C-alpha cells in the first residue's frame, strides 16, 4: 500500500508551466476542424519527444510533485537506465538537462552521484503551478476529480465489506499527526484503496492518475494543520457512509470535500496574486 501512487505518472497541471505538450499534440484533423472526433483520436500523433526528454520529464515531475525530495540521492545512471528501460547515455542526457534546470546537482568523488537539488521545494513548485493555472482549468480538474471519485465511492458503498473500510480508516488515523509528506502519502493511498473497493479496474486506474496529478495541490492545503484535521474528519464521514452502504450520502460528502478543496485553492491563488 506504500507507494501506490506509482510516482512516475505525469502530472499535467504541474508540467503546464512552460511545457505545453497537450497543446502541441493536436492532430492535423483537429486543427482543420473535422468532426470525426473518435477517428482523429486514433490518429493522434504518438509524440516525437525524445526518450531523454521523457526520462527528464518523469524525474522533473517527481521532484516538483515532491515524490523525490530535496537532497535525496538518485539511483546510479545504470540503475536508472534499467528502471526506465533506456540506454545509460539517454539517462546521462536527461540528467544533464535536469542539472541545467537546477533540479539536480551532481557531486564527484566518494559518496558522489546525482542528488535532488537542496533548493527543490515541492511547495514552491506547486505554488508556482497554481499561479500559472487558470481558475477555469482548476475548476475543470476538480470537476473531473469529483466525477471519478464520486463514482468510485458510490460503487464502493454498494460493494465493500465493512471490514475492508475499517482497514483504510485505521491506517489514515495512524498517519494523522505525522509529518506532511507521510500524511499525504497515506491519504493518497487511502483514496486509491477506497476507489479500488468499487471493484472497477478502469475507475481505479483513473483515480490513481488523478491522485498523482492533484496530490501536490492537496499538500499545499494540508500544510495548514486545521485543514489536515478537516480532511481526516471528511475522510471519516465518507468511510462511515461507505461502511453503512449509503451510496448517495458518500457521494455527497465527496462533493463537499472537493468543493472545499477547490475553493481553498482558488482563494489561495487570489491571495498570492494580490501579493
**Which position among 28, 75, 177, 178 is part of the footprint of other proteins (CB under 8 A)?**
75
How many chain residues are in contact with other proteins, going by CB under 8 A?
36
CB closer to other proteins, 130 vs 172: 172
**Interior/surface letters 70-79, b for 16+ CB within 10 angstroms, e for the rest:** eeeebeebee
Tell which residue, 236, 231, 220, 228, has the closest CA to residue 272: 220
Q: Under the criterion CB under 8 A, does residue 142 sit at the interface with other proteins?
A: no
Q: Under the criterion CB under 8 A, does residue 94 sit at the interface with other proteins?
A: no
Q: Under the criterion CB under 8 A, does residue 159 sit at the interface with other proteins?
A: yes
Q: Under the criterion CB under 8 A, does residue 205 sit at the interface with other proteins?
A: yes
- Residue recorded with cell 470537476: 143
Contact between residue 194 and residue 239 where contact means Cβ atoms under 8 Å apart = yes
Contact between residue 217 and residue 65 where contact means Cβ atoms under 8 Å apart = no
DSSP, res 67 = S
CB closer to other proteins, 136 vs 201: 201
- Grid coordinates standing for 44? 493522434
CA 11/CA 64 separation, integer angstroms: 9
- Grid coordinates standing for 243? 461502511
- Grid coordinates standing for 188? 493518497
**Which position among 192, 214, 220, 254 is part of the footprint of other proteins (CB under 8 A)?**
192
Q: Under the criterion CB under 8 A, does residue 7 sit at the interface with other proteins?
A: yes
Q: Which of residues 39-68 bind other proteins (CB under 8 A)?
A: 62, 67-68
Tell which residue, 25, 78, 86, 22, has the closest CA to residue 56: 86
Q: Under the criterion CB under 8 A, does residue 200 sit at the interface with other proteins?
A: yes
**Which position among 79, 225, 233, 267 is part of the footprint of other proteins (CB under 8 A)?**
79
The region of 38-46, 100-108, 188-196, 230-238 touching other proteins under the rule CB under 8 A is 188-196
Tell me the Cα Rg of the chain: 20
CA 18/CA 55 separation, integer angstroms: 17
* Least distance from other proteins to the Cβ atom of residue 267, Å: 32
Q: Under the criterion CB under 8 A, does residue 228 sit at the interface with other proteins?
A: no
Given the rule CB under 8 A, which residues bind other proteins? 1-4, 6-8, 62, 67-68, 72, 74-75, 79-80, 82-83, 158-161, 163-164, 167, 171, 192-193, 195-196, 198-201, 204-205, 208
Amino acid at each position: 500500500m506504500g507507494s501506490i501512487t506509482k510516482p512516475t505518472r505525469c502530472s499535467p497541471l504541474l508540467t503546464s508551466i512552460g511545457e505545453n505538450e497537450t497543446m502541441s499534440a493536436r492532430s492535423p484533423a483537429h486543427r482543420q476542424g473535422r468532426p470525426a472526433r473518435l477517428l482523429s483520436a486514433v490518429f493522434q500523433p504518438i509524440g516525437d519527444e525524445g526518450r531523454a526528454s521523457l526520462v527528464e520529464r518523469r524525474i522533473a515531475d517527481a521532484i516538483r510533485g515532491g515524490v523525490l525530495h530535496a537532497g535525496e540521492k538518485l539511483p546510479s545512471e545504470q540503475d536508472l537506465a534499467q528502471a526506465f528501460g533506456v540506454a545509460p547515455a539517454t539517462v546521462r542526457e536527461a540528467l544533464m538537462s535536469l542539472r541545467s534546470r537546477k533540479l539536480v546537482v551532481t557531486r564527484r568523488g566518494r559518496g558522489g552521484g546525482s542528488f535532488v537539488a537542496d533548493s527543490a521545494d515541492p511547495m514552491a513548485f506547486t505554488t508556482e503551478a497554481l499561479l500559472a493555472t487558470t481558475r477555469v482549468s482548476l475548476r475543470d480538474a476538480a470537476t473531473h476529480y469529483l466525477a471519478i471519485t464520486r463514482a468510485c465511492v458510490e460503487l464502493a458503498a454498494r460493494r465493500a465489506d465493512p471490514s475492508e473500510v475499517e482497514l483504510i480508516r485505521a491506517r489514515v488515523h495512524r498517519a494523522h499527526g505525522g509529518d506532511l509528506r507521510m500524511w499525504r502519502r497515506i491519504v493518497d493511498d487511502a483514496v486509491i484503496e477506497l476507489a479500488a473497493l468499487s471493484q472497477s479496474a478502469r475507475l481505479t486506474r483513473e483515480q490513481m492518475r488523478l491522485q498523482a496529478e492533484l496530490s501536490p495541490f492537496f499538500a499545499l492545503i494540508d500544510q495548514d494543520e486545521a485543514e489536515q484535521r478537516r480532511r481526516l474528519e471528511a475522510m471519516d464521514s465518507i468511510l462511515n457512509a461507505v461502511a453503512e452502504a449509503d451510496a448517495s450520502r458518500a457521494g455527497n460528502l465527496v462533493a463537499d470535500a472537493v468543493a472545499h478543496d477547490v475553493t481553498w485553492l482558488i482563494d489561495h491563488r487570489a491571495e498570492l496574486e494580490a501579493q
